[in-house]
Every structure is written in structure tokens, then in C-alpha cells.
Chain A
Amino acid sequence: MSSASITALRVKGATKQFGGLKVFEGISFEVAPGGVMGVIGPNGAGKTTLINVMCGMLKPTSGRILIGDQDITGKPLHAVSRLGVARSFQQTNTFRSVSVDENLFRAQRFGGSHGGLDLGLSELLEEFGLIRHLHEPSEKLPYGLQKMLGLIMVLAARPRFLLLDEPAAGLERRERTQVDRFVEHARSRLGCGILIVEHDMELVRRLCPYILVLEAGRLLAQGSPADVLSRKEVIDAYLGASEE
């Protein structure tokens, strides 16, 4: 076993079923520390359910989730988060009635960090234009800023692995580069392993050296974006469908 896989976030033969409905079956892959992996697929392919299973919001029907050799299968959401696997949400998700700095304080506190704005978060706040809104309630922020605040809060909890559920959804094109900056910061400054579920192919190509394609609950293809996105079955199942 390589040293990277010892601390990698590993999904081994995961299956999730709701009654008779099989969302995905027998999925296996691993996210290396400092690595970025993309997960793409048409709507209903099971991408968000995969994140829900990995982060502890849902229990897999079978299969295991591990950090290195530590089995975290079935552990509750808060325990998985404390073990270093944090997730973001498709929609904006902050404590809406309180200020930006209170949101950040809570994220740090809940993640077990009490040392003020470290981790280079103040750089991100400055770059994303959040620093001048520190004392405003987060619900008063524009959508894009709320979305970026949600991402920074996840980072403030000091994760080892980030599961980003459509981080660019709802953002304007010019705002999407902030997601690039965020991912780069998390990877280079914190050494986070990152899994990105995303529909924006340009963003996936830019950020992810390795991607998985899910289709109807099965792993259709995996590899580099250039390789995977040129395969006929992927184009038929996903890109072709979205272009119609």
C-alpha cells in the first residue's frame, strides 16, 4: 500500500439503495490528500447521494468508506466532519441571521479551531470581497458571496478532505474563477484532498486532473478529462444529452 493511499479517502464497493430504487452500485475510488477529483454525470446519476454517503448523511446499503485504514462507514455526519471530511452544499448554506464573522467563528469553533482567522482565510475573504461585509448578516449578501462564504466556512472547519457539491451552481461566469482560487487554496495551503461534483465542464477540465463519470448509478468511465470526455459512451450518456 502506498503512503498516499494510507491517508486517502477511500470508497470501496459502495452501494446505496432506497427500497427498490438503486441509486448507485459497487462504486470504488479514492481521493488522495492534495488531489482533486471530479465527479460528473447527468441529473439523477447519484452524484449528490454519493457525497451524502461519503460524509455520513446517509448510510451506504453496502460497501465501506475509509480514511486510510480507518473505517468511517455509518458514522454520523458530525463525527465524519470531526474526522476531517467536510462537505459543502449545492444551495447557499450559512447561518443566515448572523454576521459573516459570526458564521466564520462558528465554523472554526465547531471544527475544533479557536485561533481566529488563520489558514489564510483572510486572504480568501479579501479576494472574494467578503472582508467589507464582515459585520453584515449573511442573508443580506448577494447569492455569489453567500455561496463563497459557505465554502470558506467549510474550510474554516480545518478539513482533510473536501466534498464540494456543485460549488459553481448559480454563480455568474466571472464568479466561477473564485471556485478555482478556493480549490487551489484548499489544496496547496491545507493539503486537502478534494472531490468536486459539478456540471460546469470548463471548471472540471481546469481543476480536475482525474474524473469519474456516473451514469444511472454505475461508474461509466474514469481517467483524465481529455481522455474520458472524448469517449463515445460518455458523450452519448452525458455531454451529448446536455447539448440537445
Chain B
Amino acid sequence: MTPNRHRDFKLDICSVVLILPLLVAPLLTESPLLDSLSFQIAIGVSATLAVYIMLRMGLLSFTVPAFMAFGAYAAAMLAKGGTTNLLLLMAISFLVPALIAVPLGAMVLRLKGIYFIFITFVFNEILQLIIFETPTLTGGSDGISGVPPATLFSLDLAGRAGIVLVPVVVCAAAMLCTLLVTQRFRAEFTSIEENETLAESLGVAIWKYRTIGFVASAGVAGLAGFALANMLATAHPSSFASWSVINFIAYAFIGGRGTMLGVVAGSALLIVMNSIFSSYAQLSAGMNGVLLLVVMIAAPGGLVGTCVRLYGAAKTRVNGALTAHVQEERA
């Protein structure tokens, strides 16, 4: 493993470890604020990971809200039908959007740049329209309400602990899936992002890896959608509005789109900031926009990327100084 790969792997593992306090903190306190932050961050991280997977291949996908909706509605329908097992609900919320992503990917993954962004954005709008026009299946503008909470074997996850626990378990599953896909295909994904022609000339089937990433991204978004529907006890179209993807993109870019740690840092930071400044909630989108601009201009690698770059530069300077010192001593 070369130093870069080793470093990125460590940062990704670090992000998984950082998620543990989310699991523990609210259960040790009686703070509703911490409960709220915990599930918001867990859902935010899960949805942002769906954006992150596609960004690893240089594709900015706007389909996340649509795939979240597929996951949420599939799980809500199953739960309303009487199947409330957490693992089954997670499985269905992953599989349904992942399966839909296969034919959709065949159509849209040949596009790049603004064309890809545009078509994936339009897909959200089409799905919203379908939801509104199919009230017998999806509840239309009312959504599917009264979704029973998930259970785990004999354990009822309806209480406060359950509301916190389910998003965190979902987030852990989303992180694991993302870690597996992005580490297993790291070389292919990053090569496609950096130099697609060279990668293909060396034998990389671009369409294959784009499809793998798109399917994994859809599944992870579906998990986030399920966590949201479970928490709200409702699968409602307004929860999956097209514009919501802007927040997830902001989390990824501000935290740093090169590692999962960036996703965790960006999501946590912005969600906590939005909570602190909640009295100015109507300004949150504007604040995210300004932050996004500042980071794109001043620190294109995001918070984590910039820290890694500064650390690398400092390390090189120290090593240089040490080498010079040793040479002086020898002389």
C-alpha cells in the first residue's frame, strides 16, 4: 500500500470511529438537543456519503433525494404491511433504489459535467411528480403517514433510545458500505476522476465502475431515506425535495470531498452550526452557500483536505530541517 492510499484508508477508518460518540452521547444524557443533533448528523452523513461516492469518480449527482425517497417509501410500505424488522427494512431500503439505479445508470452515466448534473436534477422533479400523481400507492401529497417504528427481534425501537439508535445503525451501515466500495475500487474511481482516457487505455471499463458507484450511492441514499422516514414516522414528498441535495453537496465540499472523514466533519460542522443559529433558520441555505463559496476559493480540498495538505507540507519542512541538521553534524 503506497503512503497516499494508507493515509486515506486511515482517515476513512477515523471517520467510522468518530461516529461512535454519536451512538453513545445521547444515551448517556437526557438532552433532547443532543438527540436531535445525533439523528440529524447520522442522516446527514448517510445522505452525504451517497454524494461522496459519486464525487470520487468526479461526478456530481443530484439524484440523492430521489433515491432517498425510493428507500423511504419502500421501507414505509413494508412497515405498514406489518414487517418492522430493522434489518429487513434496511435491506429493502438499500435494494430498491440500488435496483432502480441499474437501468437509470445505463441511461445517464454516459453523460458528464453539467449534462449529468442537469439530468439527475430533473430525475428528482420527475419522481416528485410521480409521487403526487400516484396517491393510491404513495399517498400523493399526504405521503405515507403512521409508519410503525422499526423493531429488532423482540426489541421495540419506538422509544427515545430507538429514535436515536436507528439512524446511527443506518449511518454505520452506510459508512461500512461506502468504505467497502470506495476502498475496494479506490484506484479505479480516483483514476476515472483524474484522467479517464489514461485509465481506460490501461484497461479500466469506465461504465462498469461508474455503474458500481451509482448503484452503491443509490443504496446508501435509500438507507438515509429510511432513517428519515422512520424518525418522522412518515414518508412524505416534502422530505425529499430536489433542493435538499444542495445541503449534502455543501457538507461534502466544506468537509472535504477526498475522504469520508471530510463528509463526517462537514456534516457535523454545518448541522451543529445550523442548530446554533436556528433562530436564523431561514438564512441557513444562504449561510451554506457563502461557506461553500469561501471554501471553494480559499481551500478547495475542504477542511480535511486542507489540514492534510498543511500537515504534509509541515512534515516535509521538518524532515528537510532534520536531514540538513544530520548532514551538518556529520560534516
Contacts and interface: CB of A to CB of B under 8 A. Distances in A.
A78 B195 contact: no
Interface string B193-210: 011011111111110000
B32 interface: no
B4 A98 contact: yes
A52 B203 CA distance: 15
B2 interface: yes
Contacts of A57: 201
B4 A102 contact: yes
Interface size class of B (residues with CB under 8 A): 20 to 34
B195 A95 contact: yes
A111 B187 CA distance: 12
B2 A81 contact: no
A73 to B, nearest CB: 18
Interface in A77-95: 77-79, 81-82, 86-87, 89, 93-95
Contacts of B188: 110
B2 A153 contact: no
Contacts of B159: none
B124 interface: no
Contact of B5 (A102, A110, A112): A102
Given A94-B198, A110-B191, A78 B205 contact: yes
A157 interface: yes
B200 A77 contact: yes
B178 to A, nearest CB: 21
Nearest to A88: B201
Interface in B177-199: 187-188, 190-191, 194-195, 197-199
B11 to A, nearest CB: 16
B316 to A, nearest CB: 11
Given A95-B191, A105-B187, A106-B187, A111 B4 contact: no
Contacts of B3: 99, 135
Interface residues of A, number: 31
Interface in B149-173: none
Contacts of B187: 105-106, 109-110
B301 to A, nearest CB: 11
Contacts of A107: 202
Interface string B14-41: 0000000000000000000000000000
B4 A81 contact: no
Nearest to A107: B202
A77 B203 CA distance: 7
A86 B5 contact: no
22 contacts: A78-B200, A78-B201, A78-B204, A78-B206, A79-B205, A81-B203, A86-B201, A89-B201, A94-B198, A95-B190, A95-B191, A96-B195, A98-B2, A98-B4, A99-B3, A102-B5, A105-B2, A106-B202, A110-B191, A111-B202, A112-B203, A135-B3
The 3 closest A-B CB pairs, nearest first, are A110-B202, A81-B203, A110-B203
Interface of B: 2-5, 187-188, 190-191, 194-195, 197-206
Given A81-B201, A110-B187, A110-B199, 15 more contacts: A78-B204, A78-B205, A81-B203, A93-B197, A93-B198, A95-B194, A96-B194, A96-B195, A98-B2, A99-B2, A101-B2, A106-B199, A110-B188, A110-B191, A110-B202
